[in-house]
Structure 1
Amino acid sequence: MIKIGLTGWGDHPELYVSSAKERLQDYSAHFPIVELDSSFYAIPSKKNIEKWIKETPDNFQFVVKAYQEITGHQRGESQFSSKEEMFEVYRQSIAPLQENGKLSMVLVQFPPWFRCEKGNVEYILRVREELKDFEVAIEFRHQSWYSSPFKEGTINFLKSHHFHHTVCDEPQVGEGCVPLIPIATSEKVLVRLHGRNTYGWLNPGNNENWREVRYLYDYNKEELSAIQNVSEQLHKQAEDVVVLFNNNSGGHAAKNAKAFQQMLRIDFEGLAPKQLDLFEGGI
């Protein structure tokens, strides 16, 4: 099965027909899966997790981003007394999603400075142990993991420890980005589409608007066709392919995802009952 979704449900005004409090319900009328990205900045409370479970259809699923201290993005002091406590709090937070069949996977996205070296490989093994009861997808941002001396080892490492591989589409502008490697390492593979805004990737702006600049991109029909080919190739390797559009900042993600869905001739079942075809005609 190929599932299509977006990263986050709060930045797609063309999907909403209700109040701001009901954006997730509106979103789930269009797509069967979403990336929960707020979990990167703060571990979600049990109250919020339970709210999101209730607001979505029975078969709706979440790709939950790992908390920033897990991935090494954390700046400043930790709010936890130890790594063990931090992992335990994170596990408790996402457990209800798993118990209700709504956790597709945990996305562990390492930063651009996380190179392919022994200490980092050992840390990934610790993440595997700490999250042993969950499906985990690994996304690398430093291209050393896919350089000729390490690419085969990286893929075999992910396979042997049953990590889902994250296939990325992003600008190719140096070490802090990775090439598109259409390989699945398990029965499920994640595809994240970050856009191809080379200028924005190199010049992301200040801390306040960097996301608006970096992920400003509108995929054209030819580019979506190429992504379709990649997705179908991956589907021959893995039972489930999850495709997430992350080009949110200019309002293009939902439109691109809908056009992509039409190209694949996929009709999602079990969506919320507010389905409105606002995207007839594609791009």
Structure 2
Amino acid sequence: MGDILVGTCSWTDKALVSSGWYPPGRRDAEGRLRHYAERFPVVEVDSTYYGLPRPRNSELWVERTPPGFLFDVKAFSLLTGHPTRPEAVPADLRPALLREAGLRGGARPWGRRVADGALLDEVWARFAEALLPLRSAGRLGSVLFQFPPWFRAETATEAFLEQCRERARGWPVAVEFRHPSWWQEDRRERTCALLRGLGVAAVAVDMAQTLSVSIPPVAPVTAEELALVRFHGRSAAWGTGSKEDRFRHAYTAGELAAWVPRLCRMAERAGQVHVLFNNCCGDAAVRAAECMEHMLAGRTAVR
């Protein structure tokens, strides 16, 4: 039976910081991470999606957390084909990003089809360099590649996924699809086979099931070492409105309890299962994580 590690998708979210969950005296950058790491064994780093990280970031994360604490690092937006602001890359790379965007144009000027060649090579190299302190310390839980909503299941996107895996050789990789075509019943087995062949973990998702973009709550295990579940909340405003609109959801005990046997089954097939709450509205994510830990205690090797 593998371990089940429960945490949240950020420890720096503004709504969490302002909620009062962090006690007085531990609300600075160092204090917040130390406080979080005393309560949970894993966290997702989402800031690496919005801006290309640096090695010093990883060094500080290692220094401020106890041995064994793990970081699931979200891949930088340019690596997964999302629109990327020039300000998100180091100043010396911005002219190349703007030049390629100007040459290609399009509604999504900084997506994966823009960042080809030397620019993308350099971004990958710098992202890998930033991860090195985590990898060297044995603290990198996974690199999460969350692909955009228009990344539908087709031959071209399968090829792009294979290219990403090749560039991320040697990393523990997890993949989350936001287009439901990957997990439709007639496609599900092919998707699982693709991920198994690449040696990457599928990310299961909990979200509202009433939307045209809803990802079904399937929980495949495609890698022996790792499986992930991300709880996005069940807001009907997913994909629209403000961030609070999209993620405003307080999980009930019943909603969480329904996942407990499923998580235990995943742990029977994977060395670790990371359960991450992304309903980042106030302290809802940390409260849900605490509740899930309590429910899992005694059922399996939860930490």
For the criterion TM > 0.5, the same-fold answer is yes
* Cα deviation code 1:153-200 (max 9, x no counterpart): 0001001110111000011244433111121011210000001111x2
Q: Is the 8 A contact 2:153 2:181 kept in 1?
A: yes
* Cα deviation code 1:230-259 (max 9, x no counterpart): 211211221211000111113211111111
Q: Is the 8 A contact 1:112 1:175 kept in 2?
A: no
Q: Of residues 180, 183, 192 in structure 2, which corresponds to 1:155?
A: 192
Larger mean CA deviation between 217-226 and 143-152 belongs to 143-152
Aligned-residue identity in percent: 33
The gaps in structure 1 that reach 5 residues or longer are 270-283
What is residue 2 of structure 1 aligned with on the other side?
A: 4
Secondary structure of 1:52's partner? helix
* Cα deviation code 1:244-281 (max 9, x no counterpart): 01111132111111111111116877xxxxxxxxxxxx
The gaps in structure 2 that reach 5 residues or longer are 87-92, 98-117
Q: Is the 8 A contact 1:105 1:137 kept in 2?
A: yes
Alignment of 1:1-283 (within 5 A): 1-11=3-13, 12=16, 13-17=20-24, 18-21=26-29, 22-75=31-84, 79=94, 81-187=118-224, 188-198=226-236, 200-201=237-238, 204-205=240-241, 210-265=242-297
Q: TM-score, normalised by structure 1?
A: 0.88
Larger mean CA deviation between 78-87 and 62-71 belongs to 78-87
2: CA distance, partners of 1:48 / 1:163: 25
Cα deviation, residue 95, structure 1? 1.4
Q: Is the 8 A contact 1:32 1:268 kept in 2?
A: no
Cα deviation, residue 148, structure 1? 2.9
Larger mean CA deviation between 251-260 and 80-89 belongs to 80-89
Q: TM-score, normalised by structure 2?
A: 0.82
Q: Is the 8 A contact 1:141 1:178 kept in 2?
A: yes
1: CA distance, partners of 2:181 / 2:191: 10
Secondary structure of 1:58's partner? coil
RMSD: 1.7
2: CA distance, partners of 1:44 / 1:76: 14
